[in-house]
Amino acid sequence: MALSNRDKVGRGLELLAEGLKPFVARYMSAKLPAGKDWVEVLSARDGAKHGTSKTYSSDDPRFLLKVLTEDWRAFDGALSRVEQSYASELRDVGNRWAHNDGFSPDDTTRALDTMERLLTAAGAAPIAERVGKIRVDHQRSQYEELTRRTVRAAVGTVSAPGTGLKAWQEIIRPHRDVASGDFNAAEFAADLHQVATGQAQQSEYTDPVEFFSRTYLTQGLHDLLGRAVRRLSGDGNASPVVNLQTNFGGGKTHSMLALYHLFSGLPAGAFAQGVQDIVGGVDLTALRVAPVTLVGTHLSPSQPLIKPDGTQVNTLWGSWPGNWAAGTPTTPSPWRIRAARRPVKR
């Protein structure tokens, strides 16, 4: 059964409480004498202020957001003014949800996006990623619904029999998981971090040959891969830095995966003909390329990375899995690509 917009917001609030709880407890406890329970202190303070008994729970997302906005001095330096405004916005979302108000598709997208941003600011990147998956699934379903309406409208304008659009089942063969109805929409979203760390399960994302056999080489992707090959093979006129900036679904992650797999150590002949045409006469196996992947949502200064050997890492460079092999320093090639989603207007 598909989740309603209100259900998605409710699930997001549950995850928000899970991610904010340790963050709020850490900073509130630091402001109190040792042994004092910060929740009990706030309950007593507010009870005395309002003349009624107050009972709070650190598992309540609305209470945690209240603390972030009303006791903001405790988090001075931990959250910027913009990040504190996320908490203010989400207090309104929590109140609307508690009063059984409805949420439009755009309201739902914005609420989940703001939760994701606040969790990231609070150092709860893994939980922010879970909220992000809810948001991505929601946006995908909205896009699919919009596509269905557009197609229905287009077919409805055709009056002559037999001249309308054919059913998609007559033109394409869906992925076996889609055809059987046994799939998770989140699995169809590429994840650079999971691929780079060996956590991804889908071979179409992890296997370089299969990845390119399933990838349509657009003009933009053709240009990007061509620049990288030329730069790394010694062409000083090729761009040394490429900045990808698109709206959601613009292909940033897919482009970075394409670069990651192109320089995986395989010869050009292993890939589809389109890739071979891009590479030309360059011997990919002769290039010295050390891929480095830094996914910002998995890095946080408040949550240092612990390497397999027990070393605590606080820097971006040390966070790269390729540097985890002690005594094997590697110098990356002088070519960089970075991607960023266009900022959401608020």
Task: Establish if 150 belongs to a structural domain.
Answer: no
User: Is pLDDT above 60 for 344?
Assistant: no
User: Is pLDDT above 70 for 342?
Assistant: no
DSSP string, 172-213: ----HHHHHT---GGGGS--HHHHHTT----HHHH-HHHHHH
Which tens digit of pLDDT belongs to each residue from 236-245?
888 888 888 8
212 and 337 fall within a common domain: yes
Contact between residue 309 and residue 326 where contact means Cβ atoms under 8 Å apart: yes
| Number of domains comprising the chain | 2
Contact between residue 103 and residue 9 where contact means Cβ atoms under 8 Å apart: yes
201 and 121 fall within a common domain: no
| Contacts by residues 204-208 (CB-CB < 8 Å, ≥ 24 positions apart) | 205/257, 208/261, 208/262, 208/264, 208/266, 208/270, 208/271
Task: Please report which confidence band the pLDDT of residue 117 belongs to, taking 50, 70 and 90 as the band edges.
Answer: very high
The residue among 68 and 193 whose pLDDT is bigger is 68
10 and 76 fall within a common domain: yes
pTM above 0.75, yes or no: no
Q: How far apart are CA 58 and CA 17, in angstroms?
A: 8
User: Is pLDDT above 50 for 333?
Assistant: no
The mean pLDDT of 38-60, rounded to a whole number, is 84
Q: How many residues does the chain have?
A: 346
| Contacts by residues 243-250 (CB-CB < 8 Å, ≥ 24 positions apart) | 243/337, 243/338, 243/339, 243/340, 244/337, 244/338, 244/339, 244/340, 245/339, 245/340, 245/341, 245/342, 246/341, 246/342, 247/341, 247/342, 248/139, 248/341, 249/139, 249/143
Task: Establish if 183 belongs to a structural domain.
Answer: no
Task: Establish if 68 belongs to a structural domain.
Answer: yes
pLDDT at 343: 44
104 and 203 fall within a common domain: no
55 and 122 fall within a common domain: yes
10 and 96 fall within a common domain: yes
Most confidently modeled of 131-135, 186-190, 196-200, 265-269? 131-135
The residue among 109 and 318 whose pLDDT is bigger is 109
Q: Of 102, 135, 168, which residue is a domain's last?
A: 135
Task: Establish if 58 belongs to a structural domain.
Answer: yes
pLDDT at 164: 63
Q: Of 135, 155, 179, which residue is a domain's last?
A: 135
Q: Of 135, 156, 177, which residue is a domain's last?
A: 135
pLDDT at 1: 54
19 and 128 fall within a common domain: yes
Task: Please report which confidence band the pLDDT of residue 31 belongs to, taking 50, 70 and 90 as the band edges.
Answer: confident
126 and 211 fall within a common domain: no
Task: Establish if 115 belongs to a structural domain.
Answer: yes
pLDDT at 16: 95
The residue among 130 and 181 whose pLDDT is bigger is 130
Task: Establish if 12 belongs to a structural domain.
Answer: yes
119 and 39 fall within a common domain: yes
Give the per-residue SS3 of 75-90: HECCECHHHHHHHHHH
130 and 215 fall within a common domain: no
pLDDT at 91: 94
108 and 14 fall within a common domain: yes
Task: Establish if 78 belongs to a structural domain.
Answer: yes
User: Is pLDDT above 70 for 187?
Assistant: no
Domain range enclosing 252: 192-290+331-341
Classified as helix, coil or strand, 339 is strand
Rounded (5°) CA angle 29-33-37: 50
Burial of 257 (0-12, 13-18, 19+ CB in 10 A): buried
Task: Establish if 298 belongs to a structural domain.
Answer: no
205 and 335 fall within a common domain: yes
pLDDT at 22: 93
